[in-house]
Structure 1
Amino acid sequence: TLGTQTDYRDGEAQTDPYSPEYIVRSGSVPELLTLATLTWGRGLPAGLEEMAMIDRAREKRAWEASLPPMDSPSNTAKRLKMMEEMERKEWAFREQEIEKLQKIRLEVLKKMLRRREENQDKVDAKRLCDYWQNRQRAREEKIKKIRHDCALMLRKLIANRKNMMGKLDRRDIIKEYTDFSSQTYAPLSRIGFFPDNNSDYYAVKNFYLNTFAGLCELEASLPSSVIQLKIKAPKPKSIMTKTGFIKRSARLEADLAQVHQ
Structure 2
Amino acid sequence: TLGTQTDYRDGEAQTDPYSPEYIVRTSSVPEILTLATLTWGRGLPAGQAEMEIIDRIREKRAWEAALPPMDSPSNVAKRLRMMEHMERKEWAYREEEIDKLQKVQLEVFKKLLQRREENQNEQDAMHLYKHWQNHLKAKEEKMKNIQRDCALMLRKLIAKRKNFMGKLERRDIIKEYNDFSSPVYAPLSRVGFFPDKNTGYYAVKNFYLNTFQGLCELEGSVQASVSQLKIKAPKPKFTTTGYIKRSGRVEAVLAQVHQ
Q: What's the counterpart of residue 43 of structure 1?
A: 43
* Shift in Å, 1:72: 1.8
* Shift in Å, 1:50: 0.7
Greater Cα offset, 4-13 or 155-164: 4-13
What letter matches 1:163 in structure 2? N
- Aligned pair in 2 of structure 1 residues 239, 153: CA closer, same or farther (>3 Å)? closer
1:60-115 superposed Cα distances (whole Å, 9 cap, x missing partner): 11111111111222212211221111111111111111111111111111111111
Greater Cα offset, 171-180 or 22-31: 22-31
Q: What's the counterpart of residue 219 of structure 1?
A: 216
What letter matches 2:215 in structure 1? L
- Aligned pair in 2 of structure 1 residues 62, 127: CA closer, same or farther (>3 Å)? same
Matched residue of 2:109: which SS?
helix
Q: What's the counterpart of residue 64 of structure 2?
A: 64
CA distance in 2 between partners of 1:230 and 1:191 (Å): 56
CA distance in 1 between partners of 2:10 and 2:217 (Å): 83
Q: Which residues in structure 2 correspond to 1:29-178 (within 5 Å)?
A: 29-178=29-178
Greater Cα offset, 201-210 or 89-98: 201-210
Q: How many residues align?
A: 246
* Shift in Å, 1:155: 1.2
Q: What's the counterpart of residue 18 of structure 1?
A: 18
CA distance in 2 between partners of 1:138 and 1:45 (Å): 66
Unaligned 5+ segments in structure 1 are 257-261
CA distance in 1 between partners of 2:78 and 2:44 (Å): 39
Matched residue of 1:222: which SS?
helix
* Shift in Å, 1:8: 3.7
Dislocated runs of 4+, deviation >4 Å: 4-7, 10-14, 205-210, 229-241, 244-249
- Aligned pair in 2 of structure 1 residues 11, 190: CA closer, same or farther (>3 Å)? farther
CA distance in 1 between partners of 2:154 and 2:168 (Å): 21
Matched residue of 1:60: which SS?
helix
- Aligned pair in 2 of structure 1 residues 46, 183: CA closer, same or farther (>3 Å)? same
CA distance in 2 between partners of 1:167 and 1:56 (Å): 116
CA distance in 1 between partners of 2:12 and 2:196 (Å): 71
* Shift in Å, 1:209: 4.7
Report the TM-score, using the length of structure 2 for normalisation. 0.79
- Aligned pair in 2 of structure 1 residues 6, 162: CA closer, same or farther (>3 Å)? same
- Aligned pair in 2 of structure 1 residues 204, 60: CA closer, same or farther (>3 Å)? farther
Greater Cα offset, 5-14 or 144-153: 5-14
CA-based RMSD of the aligned residues comes to: 3.5
What letter matches 2:212 in structure 1? L
* Shift in Å, 1:189: 3.0
Determine if contact 2:16/2:40 at 8 Å carries over to the other structure. Answer: yes
CA distance in 1 between partners of 2:140 and 2:104 (Å): 54
